[in-house]
Amino acid sequence: MEIERLFGRTRREIGQQREPAGQTRLRRAGYLRTSSDAGFIWLPLGAMMLERVQRLCVGLVSDVQPLVLQLPEQDQEAWLHELIKAEIRSYRQLPQRLSWEARPGVSAILWLEATQDDLETCMNTSWEDWQATWARLNLKAQEIVATPYMKGSARAWGMPCADGPDAWLTCPHCGEAGETGALRPRVSPLPEEPPQEVEEVATPGCTTIQSVADFLGVPTSHTLKAVFYATPQGRIIFAVVRGDLEIDVGKLERAVGASLHPASSEELEAAGIVAGYASPVGLHPREPITVVGDPSIQANINFVAGANRPGYHLRGVRYPRDFEVDILTDLIQAHEGAPCPACGHSLDQTDGLVLIRQERLPVSPDGPTYLDETGRPLPVHIGMAWVDLHRVLVAIAEAHHDERGLILPSIIAPYDAHVVVLNPQNPAVAEAVDQLAEQLEGNGWEVLWDRRSESAGVKFTDADLIGLPWRITVSPRSLKQGGIEIKARAAASSTVVSLDELMDALSGD
């Protein structure tokens, strides 16, 4: 390939934007353009690398080569569910591996297995293959507990980097790492209290947790916080947590399986609920509602809760003695500074790139089934992964560079070498170039030729920016010194070798 024919120029100067430094290097070297509304635009050099990343992270990580699907962009989850139900009939069809493009730059992988153990084994094998890939690419990726896309249990590989588009929480003390939606901060235990009877007290004008706590002289941790949300269909979801804790709406949404918005006063009124004084104790809504409680309400203390009439609260409320919940599950928001779930140390925020997510889906009664050897229906066990090829590529650029540009690992580089020809009209140079081309081609090397009439300085600067593993220079001077100058992109200096020694010298890396 001639550099002149390449679509995508290098840039000496490029507009600054908040992004990982590796992404800026890709833009300067002509691999990538970005647009604030369209996202990533990969130029030919970048697209070639994406293909290699795809092969490394999707094609090679599975014991079974995945079959490729094409799915509509919308409602992929529902389509998959339908497809698996319709297409999988017998144990003879399992295991299956499928992959498809979930959205531009993100490859999805699906595992279908006959048993939970088989699924775990296969997903773990891929997980370790990815770990080996990071080691090969010299990426310092860390395992993080991930927020599930569906209702399963999820983990991810993330690489910390400044100005990364993703963020997660990390414990500097014990190394625990997870996305906010996946971690439950440690909840400080409260000293137990002997049970009291429920009594109603007047709390005029106290419609917030803080005002009730101040008025009654109790800490907010001894109150029950009640927050109302509504589904798009208007069903009221009532979330209850200990008063000193915040609710993570994402966790609540996954618990009820619907997107939620804060309930409006009209929606609450229609359901017969008194905002500001509501609690699950003695609540008799006109419409059916769903009460979701966080385990923090299980503390053996006498809580203050709303009395479901304006101006009054209840003291001495205990769960489960005084009220029921429909779902008891983690609802607490994790954030920077929250106590680590494992050791209680304060959590830090880590910016970075989430490279891959992997999720094991729970088996549900209406899920897809297959018939075993005896004709008995059994659930299909399903796992998924999303490989973010764009982020993997940015991570590689982030990890492999110097102040002059990229230093690409050979397994990912779009070409093996950058061949700089100086003075191409010189007959000796022209002859050496012909022999060089024959040698490289004969050995299966794919190279980027630079025969432009630019100065040596311009050409070397471009070669450094683009960062192919080798720079090979043919010039009257190199010929005078005995042959061809070669320089590994990562090396500090170059050497001159004869054409006969060339391939040995290049494979010596």
Q: How far is the CB of 342 from Zn ion (least distance, A)?
A: 4
DSSP state of 67: E
Q: How far is the CB of 183 from Zn ion (least distance, A)?
A: 10
Q: Does 174 bind Zn ion (CB under 5 A)?
A: yes
Of 18-26, 167-175, 292-300, 375-383: span binding Zn ion (CB under 5 A): 167-175
Q: How far is the CB of 190 from Zn ion (least distance, A)?
A: 21
Burial 32-52 (b: 16+ CB within 10 A, else e): beeeeeeebebbebbebbbeb
> Given the complex with Zn ion, which of 143 and 446 has the nearer CB atom?
143
Q: How far is the CB of 142 from Zn ion (least distance, A)?
A: 14
Q: Residue 506: which H helix or E strand, with range?
A: helix 499-507
Q: How far is the CB of 172 from Zn ion (least distance, A)?
A: 8
Tell me the C-alpha distance between 406 and 389, whole Å. 18
Site string for Zn ion, 83-102 (x = CB under 5 A): --------------------
Q: How far is the CB of 160 from Zn ion (least distance, A)?
A: 17
Find tokens 């915040």 and name the residue: 246
Q: How far is the CB of 186 from Zn ion (least distance, A)?
A: 9
Q: How far is the CB of 146 from Zn ion (least distance, A)?
A: 18
Site string for Zn ion, 176-205 (x = CB under 5 A): x-----------------------------
Tell me the C-alpha distance between 275 and 265, whole Å. 7
Q: Does 135 bind Zn ion (CB under 5 A)?
A: no
**Alpha helix (H) ranges present in 234-311?**
249-256, 265-270
Site string for Zn ion, 336-355 (x = CB under 5 A): ----x-xx-x----------
Report the DSSP pairing between strands 417-421 and 377-379.
Answer: unpaired
> Given the complex with Zn ion, which of 64 and 174 has the nearer CB atom?
174
> Given the complex with Zn ion, which of 132 and 343 has the nearer CB atom?
343
CA-based max dimension of the chain: 103
DSSP string of 127-169, one letter each residue = HHHHHHHHHHTT---EEEEE--SSSSEEEEEEEE-TT-SEEEE
* Binding residue (CB under 5 A) for Zn ion from 81, 173, 186, 452: 173
> Given the complex with Zn ion, which of 174 and 430 has the nearer CB atom?
174
Interface with Zn ion in residues 285-314 (CB under 5 A):
none
Tell me the C-alpha distance between 356 and 204, whole Å. 53
Asked if 8 and 44 touch (Cβ cutoff 8 Å), the reply is: yes
Q: What is the Cα Rg of the chain in Å?
A: 30
Question: How many residues belong to the chain?
Answer: 509
Interface with Zn ion: number of residues (CB under 5 A): 8
Q: How far is the CB of 308 from Zn ion (least distance, A)?
A: 40
Q: Does 172 bind Zn ion (CB under 5 A)?
A: no
Tell me the C-alpha distance between 29 and 216, whole Å. 65
Of 173-181, 211-219, 300-308, 314-322: span binding Zn ion (CB under 5 A): 173-181
> Given the complex with Zn ion, which of 143 and 193 has the nearer CB atom?
143
Asked if 405 and 468 touch (Cβ cutoff 8 Å), the reply is: no
Burial 194-232 (b: 16+ CB within 10 A, else e): eeeebeebebeebeebeebbebeebebbbbbbbbbbbbe
* Binding residue (CB under 5 A) for Zn ion from 84, 169, 171, 249: 171
> Given the complex with Zn ion, which of 184 and 391 has the nearer CB atom?
184
Query: Which residues are near Zn ion by CB under 5 A?
Result: 171, 173-174, 176, 340, 342-343, 345
